[in-house]
A and B are shown apart, each in its own frame.
Chain A
Amino acid sequence: MHAKKHFHLGKHFWRREHKTAVADGRAVTLGTLPAGKTATIAELQGGRGFTTRMAALGFTPGAEVTMIQNFGRGPIIVLVRGTRIALGRGEAERVWITPNGGNAHGES
């Protein structure tokens, strides 16, 4: 449980860690994930309303997402926790992911 440790390290450590992941080029936005590929959610950006709605649908750091449809423009479809969710392009750009393999925040 890495995440647990992070929370003890300070209030924003967890978030900063992802910011570095972004800076390293390890994290990218969900909108860039090609169809058929799977990734792990690193961070959600956006207001609390957005975060809580996404979290309720299963988008939490550590969860796996599989891209089902992504044509580079317009909305996308992803599979998260067994459910197909359609997201607008804008929403997809607010979800940061790390391509699978570099799993920094395994939930289990």
Chain B
Amino acid sequence: MANREETARSVPSVLGACCADGSGPVQPAGPCTIRVALVGQPNVGKSTVFNLLTGMNQHVGNWPGKTVERKEGIHRCDGVDIQIVDLPGTYSLTANSLEERITRDYIIHERPDVVVMVADAASLERNLYLLSEILCLPAPVVLALNMVDVAQQQGLGIEPHVLEAALGLPVVPMVASKNQGVRELVDTVLRVYREGPRGVCRPDIREDHREVLAELVNLIAGSVPEPYPEDWVALKMLEGDEEITEMMRARLTPEQWERVHRVLMRHEDAILAIAGGRYEWVRRMTRAALTVPKAGQITLTDRIDKVATHPVWGLFVLLGVLGAIFWLTYTIGSPIQAFLDRYLIQAGAEWVRTAFAAAPWWVTGLLADGVIGGAGMVLTFLPILVIFFAVLGALEDIGYMARAAYVMDRFMHLMGLHGKSFLPLFLGFGCNVPAVMGARIVDSPKARLLTILVAPLVPCTARMAVVAVLAPIFFGSAAIWVSWGLIALSLVVLAVVGIALHELVLGGEHVAFIMELPLYHTPNARTIGLSVWQRTMGFVRKAGTIILIVSVVVWALSVLPRGEVDTSILAAVGRFLSPLGALMGVGWQMMVALLTSFVAKENTIATLSVLLGVGGEEAGLAQVLPTLLTPASALAFLVVQVLFIPCAATVATMRQETGSWKWTAFSVVLLFVLSFAVGIGVYQLALLAGWGV
């Protein structure tokens, strides 16, 4: 079957090279590989379409050097391999955000054979705005009109054929959540690939700016680098696109640039005229195809939002939802975690010790404590994370998460963050690693950084597990209040640190809160399932790579040079820090326990057992610990342990997500200083309260 044409076409595809004839009509071909890019605005069901097309045949990674997810997959149909790249969801193609830059760079440089734009039929006008931008790029486009059922419920009348005739490009109505229209979409993509683009109606700039655009095109003619279209570059410069303007500034001679610059200065406002012109084009395109019902209809979304986004009731709804998530986590997730810890991690470590009894100490130690006890331990939190991911995924799919962000905006605003940061921070209660990763959804880089910096202050389940063991030893029946107090204290510290960092480090910059509130709709199990699967696998991959490496390194520090914790480098550091511990009546063993909690938070207990010579028995700890620490010291210790440097896994993730050692180190130092400062403060208060004996 493999003919020469196929090889010729598929080789550059595999290499990702840009074909010079990408925009031209494509030669007919038999079985082959074609590359399709999925674009669309957020909340249009693009992921659902992608998941339907690729199923499990997908690969999730990052765009090179960027913290934006890159999803790729293959759909096989009639002997054709359709390679699909799911480009990030964007509202427009101006280089405002990383997502927008990635999307347009991909279309321009990688030249996909067909671009499928997924649009939400229920908000067609705004969706076609993106189409008006895409049509200026050299790629054949198919419009997938998703959620036509929702549009119908909204009373909107849409006639795809009329729209198709107006636009001059194929329009495929779909209900991706019900698996409708997928086959038609694939057929249309293949047809467009074989037949090449038709006479597309491209948006023209508004008449009042036609002259200036022509002037600009004239000025930059001949200087525009391949593969950028000249018209498009001129348009983007007129829009004030910094990336493109910088690129041209570097290519033009100073005299040319001077002239271009003068034109641009004269038309600083052009963006609004261009955007307005695009909407005029959209209106022309939809005039015949779209009938909008009279305003004033109360929809289901309006009714739910009356409560869900209300400043008071909305808060109760949110509290209820969060309470339910915690309840699920603690009644289902935690017991499974404890089970895995006991029968997988501890049993695994024991097995390694017996199986490799003859091996040198460091082999068993490395495997049992470094690999299984560090990275393996992180994996026992998977059940808790799966519950978190599933519930959050469902809430996201229903459309509630945007409302939660909206309700929390008032509070997040106090520390210079906006509502969107609430979601990743909430994930932090499960585990700080996905919290740091989840900060990606925050659009401003500064707010993203701030979210990452405060994320470790959310008390994760691992820290609370340590509290759950230690608090009853010291405080008996009052332990539950101590636990709640520690959670409250963490959140207060988080807020204070957030406010301070926003002012001091980030210069108090205002973070814009602009967010779409999608219509509520019934969740799609497949979409949620795949998102849980992908997030979980992302976490597992991390545990298997960077978390594993860091765990092993920290383990090495905790046993080198002699193979014992109490003579290790980490212990030496713990002893060195003992004057600090003395300020809150805590001995060096406790300091070492804190330091080993850096591998994994649960290590606090294991280390204490070893150092206090009670042989890993919690019952032994219960006898020894109260003789070593006063209630005041114990409370201070718990405070430090909850606020301390996050586990190695989180630190490693912070490094990856910020892309900066400086900020990672800053966070580690900050949390170190902060945890002791608050711990010592609590100790002094407790002394005043008479808990010092």
Residues of A within 8 A of B (CB): 3-4, 7-8, 11-12, 14-15, 38, 44, 48-58, 60-63, 66, 68-69, 71, 73-75, 77, 81-88, 90-91, 107-108
4 more CB-based (< 8 A) A-B contacts, given A75-B419, A88-B511, A90-B510? A11-B268, A48-B240, A55-B271, A88-B418
B239 touches A62 (CB 8 A): no
Known: A77-B517, A86-B515, A88-B513. A58 touches B272 (CB 8 A): no
Residues from chain A with Cβ under 8 Å of B514 in the complex = 53-54, 57, 85-88, 91
Residues from chain A with Cβ under 8 Å of B94 in the complex = 52, 56
9 closest A-B pairs by beta carbon, nearest first, are: A88-B513, A56-B92, A55-B275, A7-B208, A56-B91, A84-B517, A74-B410, A82-B123, A83-B123
Main secondary structure of the interface of A (DSSP, over half): mixed
- Interface positions of B from 225 to 272, Cβ below 8 Å from A: 239-240, 266-269, 271-272
Question: What is the bound-complex CA distance between A75 and B515, given in angstroms?
Answer: 10
**Listed A/B pairs (23) with beta-carbon separation below 8 Å:** A3-B276, A11-B268, A14-B269, A48-B240, A48-B271, A49-B96, A52-B239, A52-B275, A53-B514, A55-B275, A57-B514, A58-B126, A60-B275, A69-B305, A77-B517, A84-B301, A86-B419, A88-B512, A88-B514, A90-B510, A90-B513, A91-B514, A107-B276
Question: What is the bound-complex CA distance between A41 and B516, given in angstroms?
Answer: 18
A77 → chain B closest CB, angstroms: 6
Residues from chain A with Cβ under 8 Å of B275 in the complex = 52, 55-56, 60
B516 touches A84 (CB 8 A): yes
A51 → chain B closest CB, angstroms: 6
A5 → chain B closest CB, angstroms: 8
Q: Does B406 contact A (CB under 8 A)?
A: yes
Residues from chain A with Cβ under 8 Å of B208 in the complex = 3-4, 7-8
Closest residue of chain B to A50 (Cβ to Cβ) is: B512
Question: What is the bound-complex CA distance between A68 and B308, given in angstroms?
Answer: 13
B209 touches A7 (CB 8 A): yes
Question: What is the bound-complex CA distance between A53 and B518, given in angstroms?
Answer: 17
Closest residue of chain A to B274 (Cβ to Cβ) is: A55
Q: Does B2 contact A (CB under 8 A)?
A: no
One digit per residue, 1 when the CB lies within 8 angstroms of any chain A CB and 0 when it does not, for chain B 503-524 equals: 0000000111111111100000
One digit per residue, 1 when the CB lies within 8 angstroms of any chain A CB and 0 when it does not, for chain B 375-411 equals: 0000000000000000000000000001001100110
One digit per residue, 1 when the CB lies within 8 angstroms of any chain A CB and 0 when it does not, for chain B 199-240 equals: 000000011110000000000000000000000000000011
- Interface positions of B from 289 to 346, Cβ below 8 Å from A: 292, 295, 301-302, 305, 309-311
Q: Does B279 contact A (CB under 8 A)?
A: yes
A82 touches B513 (CB 8 A): no
Closest residue of chain B to A48 (Cβ to Cβ) is: B240
B301 touches A82 (CB 8 A): no
Q: Does B81 contact A (CB under 8 A)?
A: no
Known: A91-B512, A91-B514. A81 touches B276 (CB 8 A): no
A57 touches B240 (CB 8 A): no
A55 touches B272 (CB 8 A): yes
Closest residue of chain B to A80 (Cβ to Cβ) is: B126
Residues from chain B with Cβ under 8 Å of A68 in the complex = 302, 305
Residues from chain B with Cβ under 8 Å of A62 in the complex = 276
A29 → chain B closest CB, angstroms: 15
Question: What is the bound-complex CA distance between A66 and B516, given in angstroms?
Answer: 15
Q: Does B283 contact A (CB under 8 A)?
A: yes
Most chain B Cβ neighbours within 10 Å, of A50, A73, A81: A81
A3 → chain B closest CB, angstroms: 7
B516 touches A85 (CB 8 A): yes
Residues from chain B with Cβ under 8 Å of A81 in the complex = 123, 125-126, 279
Known: A53-B514, A75-B419, A86-B402. A58 touches B129 (CB 8 A): yes
Residues from chain A with Cβ under 8 Å of B512 in the complex = 50, 53, 88, 90-91
Contact partner of A88 (CB less than 8 A), chosen from B301, B305, B409, is B409
Q: Does B413 contact A (CB under 8 A)?
A: yes
A24 → chain B closest CB, angstroms: 20
Q: Does B572 contact A (CB under 8 A)?
A: no
Question: What is the bound-complex CA distance between A49 and B94, given in angstroms?
Answer: 9
A36 → chain B closest CB, angstroms: 10
B121 → chain A closest CB, angstroms: 10
A108 touches B309 (CB 8 A): no
Contact partner of B125 (CB less than 8 A), chosen from A53, A82, A88, A91, is A82
Q: Does B124 contact A (CB under 8 A)?
A: yes
Closest residue of chain A to B306 (Cβ to Cβ) is: A69
Question: What is the bound-complex CA distance between A15 and B280, given in angstroms?
Answer: 20
- Interface positions of B from 119 to 141, Cβ below 8 Å from A: 122-126, 129-130
Q: Does B186 contact A (CB under 8 A)?
A: no
B520 → chain A closest CB, angstroms: 11
Known: A53-B514, A107-B276. A15 touches B126 (CB 8 A): no
Residues from chain A with Cβ under 8 Å of B625 in the complex = none
Known: A4-B206, A52-B271, A53-B91. A86 touches B517 (CB 8 A): yes
Residues from chain A with Cβ under 8 Å of B302 in the complex = 68
B499 → chain A closest CB, angstroms: 17
A84 → chain B closest CB, angstroms: 4
One digit per residue, 1 when the CB lies within 8 angstroms of any chain A CB and 0 when it does not, for chain B 405-445 equals: 11001100100001100000000000000000000000000
Residues from chain A with Cβ under 8 Å of B409 in the complex = 74-75, 86, 88
B126 touches A88 (CB 8 A): no
